[in-house]
Amino acid sequence: NLEKLKEIENVTFLSLTNKTGYLPKNTIALGININSQLVKINEYLTKNGYSKTLLLVPKSEFQDEVSLALTRNKLNFHRIYFYDTNPKTITKEIEEITLYKERRNNLLRRIKILEKSEKNKDKVKLEKLKQKYTLGKVNFDSVVIADFGERLKSVVASFAFSDVSSKDVKIFALNQWFDESFFNE
């Protein structure tokens, strides 16, 4: 819809859109957009000492917009992952990102060691470990998920499934404040 606007000279258009990737020079976007959200989130992360932030971007229509925002604003993240939007694939990818299998094996090895011990303190530790799914921390302190709706819920659920708690890792998403079902998840 914006293609013809660049041909009209001496007029500035106000567009109620959040798509800013390819706006003509004579068009101003008035929506909350990925660019402004990523800049603000990045400012918050820097101000609050988060230095190992993962940026998760779906392989979707948002991929180009996010890439453009990163380049435009010279935003740096610890790691950037482009993930498949298929819910079955997302969980597998999150397991890899969180080193779930390695942390799970750490737990199982520690349990085996403690099972051989006769010490009371080891028995207490063993009972606590049997309540866990993994042992060890992930190698990041925060995550920004550049996705929306059901796909965002799938990603967040995959982190929980991979034994990554919001107590250990700060999780950010783009403008989901309007979707109350997200908070119920």
pLDDT tens digits, 137-174 = 999 999 999 988 888 888 988 999 999 988 889 999 88
Q: Residue 45 above 80 pLDDT?
A: yes
pTM: 0.80
Burial level of 108, CB count in 10 A (0-12/13-18/19+)?
exposed
What Å distances lie between residue 24 and 8, 27, 117, CA to CA? 10, 5, 70
Q: CB within 8 A of 176, min separation 6: which ones?
A: 148, 152, 182
Q: Tell me what pLDDT residue 27 has.
A: 82
Residues 16-43 have a mean pLDDT of: 80
Predicted confidence band of residue 4 (pLDDT cuts 50, 70, 90): confident
Question: Residue 163: left if φ>0, alpha if ψ -120 to 50, beta else—which one?
Answer: left
Whether pLDDT at 32 is above 80:
no
Across the range 35-48, mean pLDDT stands at 90
- The answer, yes or no, to whether residue 108 has pLDDT greater than 80, is yes
Residue-level pLDDT at 100? 96
